[in-house]
Chain A
Amino acid sequence: MHELSLAENIRDLIVERAATEGFRKVEAVWLEVGALSCVEPDAMTFSFAAVMADTPAQDARLEIISVPGEGQCRQCRHRWQVRELYDCCPECGNFGMDVVQGKDVRVKSLAVI
């Protein structure tokens, strides 16, 4: 359940921004979750609600934006939408690719008052 500590990171980020940007309430948080990021959206939604008590983001809405995984084959350099880290290249059939996109979890934006 590392989503809990990731949610705590989001909370810390929001508390810091509240001080520097001068807002008192967060209405919504847009979170980009990569398909290969080892974050389960349901677990994140649950953890998010649990850790935001007594912060500006208490009762904030969490909007999860799914970012598809993208990999590049090491053999033939073909790029494709990867679902699992052990997918083989649909072009040449080889295993072994570099993840180009989809490993990250990013706070994209906040709706603040």
Chain B
Amino acid sequence: MCTTCGCNGAVSHQHGHHPHASHDHEDQARILQVEQNILSKNDQYAATNRQMLSDHKVAAFNLVSSPGSGKTTLLVKTIQRLKDAARIAVIEGDQQTELDAQRIRETGVSAQQINTGKGCHLDAHQVGHALEHWSLDELDIIYIENVGNLVCPAAFDLGEAARVVVLSVTEGEDKPLKYPDMFYASDLMLINKIDLLPYLDFDVEKSIEYARRINPDIQVLQVSAKTGQGMDAWIQWCRQTKVSPARATVIPGEFVCNTAS
């Protein structure tokens, strides 16, 4: 098709309403139908990661949140509780520095740091390369700590078994409504820092209701990584997650809407 006049580009054809003299059909554009999702490449990498993880029976969890929600502390405490029962590794995503990976390594487990530079999220290709550092047969669980950002990581499947959005009570209960894409794409909402609830106006029930407006299937656990409150349920959730080549086969069980007390 000629993009100037919209005709099919045949030099010989005539139309009275529109002279072709002003442009040359010898050098005219043709229309190429593409019909391709621009995330299809990421999704292919994600499918490869998921298949590989599934083949080796490794459960990968993609932890997403805003900066400062306590993801790294949560991971450190999780590893301390779980490392005798499961073989764990961690992928850390940050724009800069090895600080988080160093904190993880101090617990004795292996951590790969991905610095995204100007990038605001991890993608499946980066995660695929990070996975090359391990022999997957020697692992049971990989935690992927995504870049602290409630917007961009929502669009990028990494090949994880389940996505966990961490919401700390210092952030306000309206976060699910403000950043709906992230809650739509997550399997579990982990409400963190609940030891601070007595000092804040955070409405736990409302935050759960908001999240379920967007994603009725989202599971909820309440924890304080600092005091250990609710951590047993979270650990059990990690251990009961089944790995499969299809996305998100977390078994919704008794931990749905667990109110840690």
Chain A residues packing against B (C-beta within 8 Å): 1-2, 4-6, 9-10, 12-13, 17, 21, 23, 27-28, 31, 36-38, 74, 84-86, 88, 95-96, 99, 104-113
- List chain B residues, Cβ under 8 A from A1: 120, 152
Q: B38 to A9, Cβ gap below 8 A? A: yes
- Taken together as a complex, chains A and B put the C-alpha atoms of A13 and B37 apart, in Å, by 10
- The number of chain B residues touching the other chain, given as a range, is 35 or more
Q: Contact at B184–A110, with CB atoms within 8 Å? A: no
What is the minimal beta-carbon distance from B64 to any residue of chain A, in angstroms?
Answer: 13
Q: List 21 A-B contacts (CB under 8 A).
A: A2-B121, A4-B118, A5-B119, A6-B155, A9-B39, A9-B41, A12-B41, A23-B32, A85-B214, A86-B176, A86-B177, A95-B213, A105-B39, A106-B38, A107-B34, A108-B33, A109-B31, A109-B32, A111-B29, A112-B31, A113-B28
Instruction: Give chain B nearest CB distance to A112 CB in angstroms.
Output: 5
Contact with A along B185-226 (1 / 0, CB 8 A): 000000000000000000000000010111110000000000
Number of A-B residue pairs with CB-CB distance less than 8 Å in the complex they form: 103
Residues of A within 8 A of B74 (CB): none
Q: Quick one: closest A residue to B2, CB to CB?
A: A111
The interface bits of chain B over 112-139 (1 if a CB of A lies within 8 angstroms of the residue's CB, else 0) are 0000001111010000000000000000
Partner of A108, one of B28, B34, B120: B34
B49 located at the interface, meaning its Cβ lies under 8 Å from any Cβ of chain A in the complex: no
Interface contact B38-A107, CB-CB below 8 Å: yes
Out of B33, B177, B180, B213, which one reaches A109, CB within 8 Å?
Answer: B33
Question: Does B31 contact A95, Cβ atoms closer than 8 Å?
Answer: no
Choose among A5, A13, A27 the residue with the greatest number of B CB atoms under 10 Å from its CB: A5
Q: Which residues on the B side are within 8 Å of A108 (C-beta)?
A: 33-35
5 nearest A-B residue pairs (beta carbon): A2-B152, A96-B216, A85-B180, A95-B213, A111-B29
